[in-house]
Amino acid sequence: MSSDHDWDLCFETINRLVDEAGKIIASRNSGAKTISEKTDDIDLLTETDQQVEKLLTEALHEKFPSHKFIGEEAFGEGNRSQLTDDPTWIIDPVDGTMNFVHSYPQSCVSVGLWVNKSPELAIVYNPIFNQKFTARRGQGAFYNGQRIHVSGEKALNKALITTEFGTSRDADKVRVTLENLAKIVPAVHGIRVTGSAALNMCMVAQGAADLNYEFGPHAWDMAAGDLIVREAGGVTMDPSGGPLDIMSRRVLAASSQELAESFIKLLTQFYPQPRDD
């Protein structure tokens, strides 16, 4: 086996690099940030996003030269990337940038390695609270080294739901978001909006939430969370009920198929454009 297809080595390498990235994020969470806007005044970029992505991609490319990359800040420069069968690192250097800008301690680095268009390994790390979620295909999901499982909740009225409003102020998106909230809030046990798509999915994996849905996240927001949820015994899918397509900017993760199916009946659908591919 070549080192480029040594998944043990890949996992060891990214685990170490994510720890390095976490030190950068944690050290800057409470300080002043250099901020720029991408698409609008709520779609933000900091120098930390750029530095962390550079750290990860350069080190991974040196170690695994044949691997490809899909990264949030590379997309911001107009470098569109397609997901192929080649080993591909999908990286969000700081998921929850708005939180990070405000020093709200819910942000993380999220990395998934996808091979043959399927996730092979995943890490989501919130260094401010030292929360590390990991998964490898067929080997389970873990929180700080301890095995985790979804809640298994099936009843909609007992379910805690997570979602995000996203970074788009498109009028149709806002209308659908508010319409869905009006339908969901009376039907479920509770709803949470914490500002990090990746951490929301990890909450489902850990059993701290029962279902997460969102219209508008990107591939790098869910590439790691997808595997972590499924290895914890949960389900991931498109919010319409079809297979999850991480390039579609639509995701639903749930503790059970039954809960997902009940929830989908409530939803008004929205299809963000453009897709990530």
Ranges of each domain in the chain: 7-147, 156-265
DSSP code string of the chain: --GGG-HHHHHHHHHHHHHHHHHHHHHHTTS---EEESSSTTSEEEHHHHHHHHHHHHHHHHHSTT-EEEEHHHHHTT------SS-EEEEEEEE-HHHHHTT-S--EEEEEEEETTEEEEEEEEETTTTEEEEEETTS-EEETTEE--------GGG-EEE----S---HHHHHHHHHHHHHHTTTSSEEE--S-HHHHHHHHHHTS-SEEEEES--HHHHHHHHHHHHHTT-EEE-TTSS---TTTTEEEEES-HHHHHHHHTTPPP---SS---
Q: Which residues pair with 68 in a beta bridge?
A: 88
Residue showing tokens 């490809």: 68
Q: How far apart are CA 95 and CA 163, in angstroms?
A: 14
Q: How far apart are CA 24 and CA 51, in angstroms?
A: 9
Superfamily (CATH) of domain 7-147: Fructose-1,6-Bisphosphatase, subunit A, domain 1 (3.30.540.10)
Ordered per-residue pLDDT tens for the chain, 277 residues: 678 999 999 999 999 999 999 999 999 888 765 655 555 444 456 788 889 999 999 999 999 999 999 987 664 444 457 899 999 999 999 999 889 989 999 999 999 999 999 999 999 999 999 999 999 999 999 999 999 999 999 999 999 999 999 878 889 999 999 999 999 999 999 999 999 999 999 999 999 999 999 999 999 999 999 999 999 999 999 999 999 999 999 999 999 999 999 999 999 999 999 999 8
pLDDT of residue 41: 46
Q: Per the annotation, where are the binding residues?
A: 72, 92, 95, 221
Known binding-site residues for Mg(2+) equal 72, 92, 95, 221
What is the domain class of 156-265 according to CATH?
alpha beta
pTM: 0.94
